[in-house]
Structure 1
């Protein structure tokens, strides 16, 4: 490992040239930014011009296509490897804290600042993350504009609450479902609905078929719709009785907007509000 590290460092040293040409708030503005996680990919694509983005992960094109098509087109892709750091030679790396020690060591060797971006579990977290990344990459005004747009969307939802607070759960055949303190729970709440899995102190809950039928939610939400299509896995996970009872009352959502803290998470709440308002009457179990 030590030998491989020394070799990579020598390669980096041979290729590293130049540096940032501008400064903001006393810190050089990065000109070759790299992201190592799909969520930081999307943050970077929203906040920075393409000319300053050196690389995003291989997951970025599909994820971006679901939210802002074309944003990742033409940008080199990486697999969060040490070799990627050598090839890209970034001056800043946005990370979620999951990169290997070798990647971080090489980042230091090439002079790249590694910025750890936390997960967002609510809309305040999204504001914090946008401001953090905006400051680090010299795009705070853009971050504030995205926050203002998100807050206006949330304010619109809060100003016109639904007449009835429907009870829902993000359920795709059992196992873990998003509970209290999750981003999905924040989106459900912003939409004016109640997440029946939001139990005190639990970010995830487990619902079997029997428990689900006993809880009797008004609608079921399910992920796997990153590209607007439900996944086969989710469809196979539905019990016959559940399919009959919730025919027309299953609402697909984009996994990306519920997993990554983005301004579009507020748009997901708007979409959920509309879908809930359009639900047909509940069917009785025969």
Structure 2
């Protein structure tokens, strides 16, 4: 009874403003949002995740994200939309999964790829699920071309990529592999950091990298790090790595590789 009332309230609330759209695809993850936008026409997307309207979490332009209905990912919201397909993540809570199953929703649960190969496989998986095999192959071809044009062999300058504040990207991640492909050595991995984690500035000053990549060079943590490195005489350079290239793989890979390759070229031979 409670679920029925919740659904009724949701429907009533939407009818007063934006009408409830039945069918289409509902995405509950910002990385799935950007992948769907690359694979299907906008009119097939019934809703995207609310994260894509947050510049710090999104991989798509804010003005594009604002054209779509969003949800917070609750079972009640999604079921009320009666979508043809729900694209969620492997981290979806069991209770939400069970609710989708009881409602008879067609669902696709995606992992978070930590390699380029896994990201390309996920593109093919989603493309097959939405009937967009041709667009999936075209996207994969763009990634293959980017891999060919950005590969760099030889000396690998050390680079430290901060996701934000003192949170750095380490070994075992998609960004780590892309950095290596473009000719950069992940300094966080040198420090023993796996996946992502916090690095104290003392560690960095003791063994400074050739370059620090960051999407936010104006924060207090970055300013402190910059000041201490300068005081130590470290020749560390800084480069911007846009935040919209940090969060996801898939369609982001070509642009991320191009930016990493440009940073590598700026460091010389």
Q: TM-score category by the smaller chain?
A: 0.7 to 0.9
- Deviations 1:101-146 (CA, angstroms, capped at 9, x unpaired): 4433342344321211110112111101101111111112111110
Instruction: Assess, with a 3 A threshold, how the Cα gap between structure 1 residues 185 and 139 changes in structure 2: closer, same or farther.
Output: same
- Deviations 1:35-61 (CA, angstroms, capped at 9, x unpaired): 111111111121111111000012224
Instruction: Work out whether 1:261 is the aligned partner of 2:253.
Output: no
Tell me the distance in 1 between the aligned counterparts of 2:164 and 2:230. Answer: 10
SS of 1:181 mapped into structure 2: coil
Q: Contact (CA 8 Å) 2:51, 2:58: kept in 1 or not?
A: no
> 1:156 — aligned with what?
149
Q: Unaligned regions of 5+ residues in structure 2, if any?
A: 11-21
Name which structure has the greater RCO, CA cutoff 8 Å, separation 6+: 2
Q: Contact (CA 8 Å) 2:24, 2:44: kept in 1 or not?
A: yes
Deviation at 1:203, TM superposition (A): 2.5
Query: What is the aligned counterpart of 1:271 among 247, 259, 269?
Result: 259
Tell me the distance in 1 between the aligned counterparts of 2:70 and 2:197. Answer: 35
Instruction: Assess, with a 3 A threshold, how the Cα gap between structure 1 residues 122 and 73 changes in structure 2: closer, same or farther.
Output: same
SS of 2:225 mapped into structure 1: coil
Tell me the distance in 2 between the aligned counterparts of 1:132 and 1:240. Answer: 46
Instruction: Assess, with a 3 A threshold, how the Cα gap between structure 1 residues 212 and 172 changes in structure 2: closer, same or farther.
Output: farther
Instruction: Assess, with a 3 A threshold, how the Cα gap between structure 1 residues 278 and 116 changes in structure 2: closer, same or farther.
Output: same
TM-score w.r.t. length of structure 1 = 0.75
Tell me the distance in 1 between the aligned counterparts of 2:8 and 2:101. Answer: 13
Deviation at 1:149, TM superposition (A): 0.3
Tell me the distance in 2 between the aligned counterparts of 1:119 and 1:53. Answer: 21
> 1:119 — aligned with what?
112
Instruction: Assess, with a 3 A threshold, how the Cα gap between structure 1 residues 142 and 109 changes in structure 2: closer, same or farther.
Output: same
Deviation at 1:95, TM superposition (A): 0.7
Give the paired residue count: 255
- Deviations 1:208-228 (CA, angstroms, capped at 9, x unpaired): 32321232311011234xxxx
Deviation at 1:239, TM superposition (A): 5.0
> 1:4 — aligned with what?
2
Q: Unaligned regions of 5+ residues in structure 1, if any?
A: 13-29, 225-229, 281-286
Q: Contact (CA 8 Å) 1:174, 1:207: kept in 2 or not?
A: no
> 2:186 — aligned with what?
195
Q: Contact (CA 8 Å) 1:174, 1:208: kept in 2 or not?
A: no
Instruction: Work out whether 1:177 is the aligned partner of 2:164.
Output: no
- Deviations 1:136-192 (CA, angstroms, capped at 9, x unpaired): 11112111110110110111112xx36642111124798552221112211211211
Query: What is the aligned counterpart of 1:222 among 214, 217, 227?
Result: 214
Superposed CA RMSD in Å reads 3.3
> 2:80 — aligned with what?
87
Query: What is the aligned counterpart of 1:232 among 194, 209, 219?
Result: 219
- Deviations 1:11-30 (CA, angstroms, capped at 9, x unpaired): 99xxxxxxxxxxxxxxxxx9
Deviation at 1:237, TM superposition (A): 4.7
Tell me the distance in 2 between the aligned counterparts of 1:11 and 1:154. Answer: 49
Query: What is the aligned counterpart of 1:58 among 50, 72, 89?
Result: 50
TM-score w.r.t. length of structure 2 = 0.79
Tell me the distance in 2 between the aligned counterparts of 1:201 and 1:219. Answer: 17
Q: Contact (CA 8 Å) 1:90, 1:110: kept in 2 or not?
A: no
Tell me the distance in 1 between the aligned counterparts of 2:53 and 2:165. Answer: 30
